[in-house]
A and B are shown apart, each in its own frame.
Chain A
Amino acid sequence: DAEITQSPRHKITETGRQVTLACHQTWNHNNMFWYRQDLGHGLRLIHYSYGVQDTNKGEVSDGYSVSRSNTEDLPLTLESAASSQTSVYFCASSDPGPHPNEQFFGPGTRLTVL
């Protein structure tokens, strides 16, 4: 069965370190998204991609970067981790098309920055 996976599921790091969160989907979806989930804020879009070599900034992109070298993967990198980036991170993917479609979410990565 097709799926979307994230790794690691839990990560503790220190302020200033570079961290990369992995996202891998086997749906063959062109569209991929990264969100962070914080209490009182719901899900906020960090970055998104509509295909290989395409990346776009979301509403909370400062301090984060992504790259899309193939259809299956969209890794999220925190260049220099800050305590404000402690959060739960979700990756999602969706079918392409002229209209919005269902997004399929991964299980999440809980990141703690000390």
Chain B
Amino acid sequence: GENVEQHPSTLSVQEGDSAVIKCTYSDSASNYFPWYKQELGKGPQLIIDIRSNVGEKKDQRIAVTLNKTAKHFSLHITETQPEDSAVYFCAASNSGGYQKVTFGTGTKLQVIP
């Protein structure tokens, strides 16, 4: 089955700096890569996703890149703000697995004002 590794497990940045979280996956058939943000005491919420037919996707201060050859994808947050502090999860899925996704172990991001 799919295995998703996520690094780093914790990340501290100064407000205004950029943050990068990296993930690798094992199943070359995976073609959907969502990122979820989990605030304290809440369930995860999708912030951005990318499918394998594109290499990069951007939504305001958030961007995701995908390298299918190397089987890794990354989340980039620019101009970080204190409200970006949360746990972020990457995930991978393939259409053969229908709607199942495999999650990474999470990154706790702290943005220091």
Residues from chain B with Cβ under 8 Å of A92 in the complex: 43
Contact (A42, B100) CB under 8 Å given A99-B32, A100-B93, A102-B49? no
A to B contact number (C-beta, < 8 Å): 64
A90 touches B43 (CB 8 A): yes
For the complex, give the distance between the alpha carbons of A98 and B32 in Å: 12
Q: Which of A42, A45, A98 contacts B106 (CB under 8 A)?
A: A42
Residues from chain A with Cβ under 8 Å of B42 in the complex: 107-108
Closest to A106 in B: B43
Residues from chain A with Cβ under 8 Å of B32 in the complex: 99-100
- Considering only residues 13-69 of chain B, those with a C-beta below 8 Å from chain A are 31-32, 34, 36, 41-46, 49, 51
B46 touches A102 (CB 8 A): yes
For the complex, give the distance between the alpha carbons of A41 and B9 in Å: 11
Closest to B44 in A: A105
Number of interface residues of B (CB under 8 A): 28
A48 touches B106 (CB 8 A): no
| Most-contacted residue by chain B among A33, A97, A98, A99 (CB, 10 A) | A99
For the complex, give the distance between the alpha carbons of A94 and B93 in Å: 14
Residues from chain B with Cβ under 8 Å of A96 in the complex: 99
B105 touches A50 (CB 8 A): no
Say yes or no for A84: interface residue by CB 8 A criterion. no
For the complex, give the distance between the alpha carbons of A99 and B97 in Å: 9
A108 touches B105 (CB 8 A): no
Given known contacts A42-B103, A90-B43, A100-B34, what 19 new A-B pairs fall within 8 Å (CB)? A31-B99, A33-B100, A42-B89, A42-B105, A43-B89, A45-B102, A99-B51, A99-B95, A100-B94, A100-B98, A100-B99, A100-B101, A102-B34, A103-B99, A103-B101, A106-B43, A107-B43, A108-B41, A108-B42
Binding site for A on B (CB under 8 A): 1, 6, 31-32, 34, 36, 41-46, 49, 51, 89, 93-95, 97-106
Binding site for B on A (CB under 8 A): 31, 33, 35, 40-45, 48, 50, 58-59, 90, 92, 94, 96-103, 105-108
